[in-house]
């Protein structure tokens, strides 16, 4: 008997014994008096078993016939063996004329012992994270592409950063798309206005973290992948990064986008902003008014900001390794840098230098950690776009260790013992020397030389 039918036996027993009336039994069971009379008749004849529903145990009139079920099982094992349940139900209905639901396909697949195409994970446990107590301890950052000008101008992406402890919007940057330049500019504004936070909280965008599964030999030996350009910037500044597992994990900044899409669009319209430059110029005014209305005091008034370095733009840079040409020129994309003479008139040709492309457009060339040349920004339209993976050569392979003379008389330590072991093994054999019989070691062709060196037969 079902949970709904269990209380009926006691009430009907009392009604049959005359202890309660039919009306009282009907009111207690939420049935009509005629139905109570029918149930009393069945109770007298069959007992409590007669109170069960008459359709229980019978095959459903809406169920799939046995022949159709067998046909579905055969198709799931042959034609649709690698098709998911929803797709298989569509094909069975459209191609084979079998009107079955996704739940029916799932039930028949499980009954046949066939594995599902996609493994379904159970719902993960999530706990509420309390906000940080000090301002600057954790900053959430994200970007939102939206029609901020409501059709009056181009579609833009707004990069933003919000403090986790106070809800203060720390910086806003408009960019055409979500890119590295937008986040680097955001971090530059944040460091200039407040300082450096302890950690950043963002999603798993490939700008922040590596999403590829490729591991080089050096990465396997050191047990971790090389960071992205943005990761190198954070490492240089001593800022941690937390990658959120879901949008709900960084709900503070997700809710901020809904508020800004409602308020900022209206403010831009009221101030007559129609271009990218006008919208960017209005953001500081909007930030001051917004934080005055919505920011609140932290639980601990002691701020966690750290002072930013003097040349913050140099830390917010993409870093590459380049080999200096014979004309003392290095190339980075379309930009060329002519290196000056080193002390005592020495040349930099053949040396490997580190090139820093800063967020403000400058190119800084360093040799053995010392600045060698600085090229100014190419213009206001400069955008920091990565050329390739950070600090890798042209082929992305490991480089041989630099000698002391190549480093300008200074010995640079490697990042780890694993890197030292790999690079030492690569160069232990030294340069390969061709054999004495190799054509490159002689000016005359090998065929002519072999005929000339062949012994002359003795005449008898």
Residue 439 has a pLDDT of 66
- In the chain, the number of structural domains is 4
- Taking only the tens place, the pLDDT of each residue in 24-78 is 888 888 889 998 899 888 888 888 888 888 778 777 777 888 889 899 999 999 9
| 47 plus 73 within the same structural domain | no
For residues 207 and 385, is the Cβ–Cβ distance under 8 A?
no
Residue 170: inside a domain, yes or no? yes
- Taking only the tens place, the pLDDT of each residue in 100-140 is 999 999 999 988 888 888 777 787 777 888 899 999 999 99
Residue 183 has a pLDDT of 95
The dihedrals phi and psi of 183, each to the nearest 5 degrees, come to -75, -35
Distance separating alpha carbons of residues 82 and 79, to the nearest angstrom: 8
Residue 306: inside a domain, yes or no? no
| Sign for the pseudo-dihedral over CA of 423, 425, 428, 432 | negative
Distance separating alpha carbons of residues 25 and 33, to the nearest angstrom: 8
Residue 434: inside a domain, yes or no? no
Structure tokens at 103: 């739940």
What is each CA distance from 443 to 206, 426, 447, 448, in whole angstroms? 54, 31, 12, 11
The parts of the chain modelled with pLDDT lower than 70 are 1, 389-432, 434, 438-460
| 206 plus 285 within the same structural domain | yes
| 333 plus 263 within the same structural domain | no
| 341 plus 271 within the same structural domain | no
Q: Which has the closest alpha carbon to 301: 128, 130, 170, 137? A: 137
What is each CA distance from 147 to 160, 186, 274, in whole angstroms? 16, 20, 11
| 170 plus 265 within the same structural domain | yes
Q: Which has the closest alpha carbon to 163: 359, 304, 315? A: 304
DSSP 300: B
User: CA gyration radius for the chain?
Assistant: 38
| 278 plus 160 within the same structural domain | yes
**Run of H or E residues at 291:** helix 276-294
**Domain that residue 78 falls in:** 67-111
Contacts with 312 (C-beta within 8 Å, 6 or more apart), sequence order: 188, 191, 192
């Amino acid at each position: 008997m079902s949970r709904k039918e269990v209380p009926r036996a006691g009430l009907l027993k009392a009604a049959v014994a005359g202890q309660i009336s039919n009306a009282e039994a009907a009111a207690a069971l939420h049935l009509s008096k005629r139905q109570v009379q029918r149930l009393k008749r069945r109770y007298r004849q069959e007992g409590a078993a007669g109170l069960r529903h008459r359709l229980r145990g019978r095959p459903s009139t809406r169920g799939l016939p046995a022949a159709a079920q067998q046909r579905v099982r055969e198709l799931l094992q042959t034609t649709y063996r690698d098709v998911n349940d929803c797709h298989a139900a569509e094909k069975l209905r459209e191609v084979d004329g079998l009107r079955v639901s996704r739940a029916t396909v799932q039930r028949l697949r499980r009954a046949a012992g066939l594995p599902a195409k996609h493994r379904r994970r159970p719902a993960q446990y999530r706990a509420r994270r309390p906000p940080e107590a000090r301002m600057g301890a954790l900053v959430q950052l994200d970007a939102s592409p939206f029609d901020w000008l409501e059709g009056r101008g181009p579609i833009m992406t707004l990069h933003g950063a919000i403090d986790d402890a106070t809800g203060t919007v720390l910086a806003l940057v408009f960019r055409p798309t979500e890119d590295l330049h937008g986040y680097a500019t955001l971090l530059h504004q944040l460091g200039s206005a407040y300082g450096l936070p302890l950690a950043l909280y963002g999603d798993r965008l490939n700008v922040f973290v590596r999403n590829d599964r490729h591991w080089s030999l050096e990465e396997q030996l050191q047990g971790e992948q090389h960071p992205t350009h943005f990761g190198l910037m954070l490492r240089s500044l001593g800022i941690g990064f937390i990658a959120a597992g879901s949008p709900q994990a960084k709900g503070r900044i997700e809710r901020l986008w809904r508020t800004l899409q409602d308020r900022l669009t209206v403010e831009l319209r009221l101030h007559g902003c129609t271009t990218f430059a006008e919208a960017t110029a209005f953001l500081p005014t909007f930030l001051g008014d917004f934080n005055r209305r919505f920011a609140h005091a932290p639980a601990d008034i002691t701020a966690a900001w750290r002072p930013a370095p003097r040349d913050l733009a140099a830390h917010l840079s993409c870093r590459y390794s380049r080999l200096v040409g014979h004309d003392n020129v290095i190339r980075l994309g379309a930009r060329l840098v002519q290196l000056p003479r080193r002390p005592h008139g020495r040349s930099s040709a053949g040396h490997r230098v580190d090139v820093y492309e800063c967020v403000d457009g400058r190119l800084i060339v360093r040799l053995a950690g010392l600045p060698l040349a600085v090229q100014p920004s190419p213009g206001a339209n400069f955008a920091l776009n990565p050329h390739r993976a950070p600090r890798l050569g042209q082929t992305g392979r490991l480089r041989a260790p630099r000698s002391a003379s190549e480093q300008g008389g200074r010995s640079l330590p490697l990042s780890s013992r694993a890197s030292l072991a790999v690079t030492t093994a690569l160069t232990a054999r030294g340069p390969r020397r061709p054999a004495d019989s190799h054509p490159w070691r002689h000016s005359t062709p090998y065929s002519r030389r072999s005929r000339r060196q062949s012994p002359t037969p003795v005449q008898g």
